[in-house]
A and B are shown apart, each in its own frame.
Chain A
Amino acid sequence: MIHFDNVSKRYPGGHTGLSHVNLRIDADEMVFLTGHSGAGKSTLLKLIGLLERSSAGQVHVNGRNLTRLKNRQIPYHRREVGMIFQDHRLLFDRTVFDNVALPLVVSGLGHKEIGRRVRAALDKVGLLHKERAAPVTLSGGEQQRVGIARAVVSKPPLVLADEPTGNLDPELSQEIMDLFSDFNRVGVTLLIASHDIALIRGMNKRILTLSNGALVADSKTETVDVT
């Protein structure tokens, strides 16, 4: 599903985001990405969602070589990658329903199909009764669940989450993680960045550790690979 081949990312000004990362994540995997702030977790996710492009190396996602993808093809790539953010990134001038419907509207689905799929996604995150509510009236956990519903509503094969539980208490965080596990069980590949070590250890899944832009540990292979 995801394949990094000697990928580096340097920002203008000399700051290094990632250096020589080699990585393979298979379909149906649920993987956690951890490391201190600035270790390169967000950079790695951004490269997969094509929010940024790598400075060197090849990134393959879902059979696509992102390095060669033209700018005008980026939207079609992003439709296959659900993205979840710490700050939810909801549109506050629209209802919960409209927020979740956005990816489907963007890909041009019909009215009825949108209604059906949005309700299914809201039902999954337990917010069906709030579809007419404005996002500001929801709690932080609920807002995050709206963000999750939006990320999965178009049934993307891959979902990325950048610190999805960053602002939530442990109980709510666990709920969110269980939700992710459910998605993984139905075949969604997940890559979740989090620095909440205790939480992700308890999930018993593959953990990748980044440090200063380099991949220093992979629980799957148990090899420490400092380049």
Chain B
Amino acid sequence: MSRKPRIIFPVHIWLQRHAQVALSCLGRLSRNALSSLMSCAVIGIALALPVGLHVMLHNLQQVSGSWESGASISVFLKQKVSEEQAASLAEKLRKHQRIQEVQLITRSDALQEFQRQSGFADALQALDYNPLPNLLFIQPKTDFTTAEKAQQLVQELRLLPEADIVQLDLQWVRRLQAITIIAQRAVVVLTALLSMAVLLIVGNTIRLEIQNRRTEIEITKLIGATNAFIRRPFLYTGFWYGLFGGLIAWSLVALAISLLSGPVATLAQLYQSSFDLSNLDATTALILLGGSSLLGLLGSWMAVGRHLSAIQPS
């Protein structure tokens, strides 16, 4: 009863075998170019959806980030503060090291504007005094525009004896950010769902491939192929499907972005912004390609595990 030890082959032969299998799988895919392309395209489209959304969100975040840095502070002065006092306060604040610009909107200016725009002109006429406060519209210096630093400035302004209400105009930016976070979650959920779809697509494609090559599998098992040997070409095929699907997703997203970038630039110009729609960055692209290859590998692994052992030579 001698059990022969398993022979271990040099690494270069092992590598040579893997390279051979990888290339021959590629060759097999190219021989059925149309059907391979269709499978890859399905994977590509499934992946392009979450990736495209991710890129759009990323752009949106950049835009809202630049808006946040444009945060301004409204200081509503107390009723008893006169327009002259307000003007001198504005003058004083203009010399403040953290403040870039102070715009004074006096209560009479504000009243005039309100009468013009609100349609309450008659009602306001009936009042015997101006109910509106003086307003200082403060633009912090660029170094102090982050939400945190601006908040500090707000605290400081609140200490002014003339100040009644001090408001940081970030509310709507915050709301936009909250919506963005929800959208990000949605992208995560969508990615998970569509990744599962890719797994199933690859799994099904490989299952058909296994059925088509049933005789070949039987014969190779007959002449002493290990399961690992038989599994290998299917795993590589799955890998290629994933990789090419990823490449298709990448090009679809790139195409969509380039189609959108023109109109977006025009829109940005209308808002006096030089915002440029950014495309998929290298890291995201690498994650996309790596992830899609991994999904292909996993999908074929699942199919191979389930269907290969069922085929036995007779």
Where the two chains meet, the residues of A that have a C-beta atom closer than 8 Å to any C-beta of B are 46, 49, 51, 63-65, 72-73, 75-79, 83, 89-91, 93, 102-103, 105-111, 150
**When the two chains form their complex, are residues A150 and B223 in contact, meaning their CB atoms are under 8 A apart?**
yes
Selecting from B13-21, B64-72, B161-169, the interface stretch reads B13-21
Where the two chains meet, the residues of B that have a C-beta atom closer than 8 Å to any C-beta of A are 1-4, 6-7, 9, 13-14, 16-17, 215-216, 218-227, 229, 312-314
**When the two chains form their complex, are residues A110 and B223 in contact, meaning their CB atoms are under 8 A apart?**
no
| Contacting residues, chain A, for B4 (C-beta < 8 A) | 76
Closest chain A CB from B135 CB (angstroms): 82
| Contacting residues, chain B, for A105 (C-beta < 8 A) | 17
What number of residue pairs across chains A and B have CB atoms under 8 A from each other? 67
**Contact among A63, A65, A110, A150 with B13 in the assembled complex (CB-CB below 8 Å):** A110
**When the two chains form their complex, are residues A75 and B14 in contact, meaning their CB atoms are under 8 A apart?**
no
Interface contacts beyond A63-B2, A103-B223: sample of 11 additional A-B pairs, CB < 8 Å, sorted by A: A63-B1, A72-B227, A79-B223, A90-B219, A103-B224, A106-B225, A106-B226, A106-B229, A108-B7, A109-B13, A110-B16
Closest chain B CB from A109 CB (angstroms): 8
| Contacting residues, chain A, for B227 (C-beta < 8 A) | 72, 75
Contact status of A65 and B1, CB under 8 A, knowing A51-B314, A76-B6, A106-B229: yes
| Contacting residues, chain A, for B222 (C-beta < 8 A) | 49, 51, 78, 83, 89
Contact status of A83 and B223, CB under 8 A, knowing A64-B1, A65-B1, A106-B229: yes
Contact status of A108 and B14, CB under 8 A, knowing A64-B3, A76-B6, A89-B219: yes
| Contacting residues, chain A, for B313 (C-beta < 8 A) | 51
Closest chain B CB from A147 CB (angstroms): 10
List the B residue with the shortest CB-CB distance to A92.
B215
**When the two chains form their complex, are residues A75 and B219 in contact, meaning their CB atoms are under 8 A apart?**
no
**When the two chains form their complex, are residues B9 and A91 in contact, meaning their CB atoms are under 8 A apart?**
no
Q: List 28 A-B contacts (CB under 8 A).
A: A46-B314, A49-B222, A51-B222, A51-B312, A51-B313, A51-B314, A63-B2, A64-B3, A65-B1, A73-B3, A75-B224, A75-B225, A75-B226, A75-B229, A83-B222, A83-B223, A89-B219, A89-B222, A90-B219, A91-B215, A102-B219, A102-B220, A103-B223, A106-B220, A107-B7, A108-B7, A108-B17, A110-B16
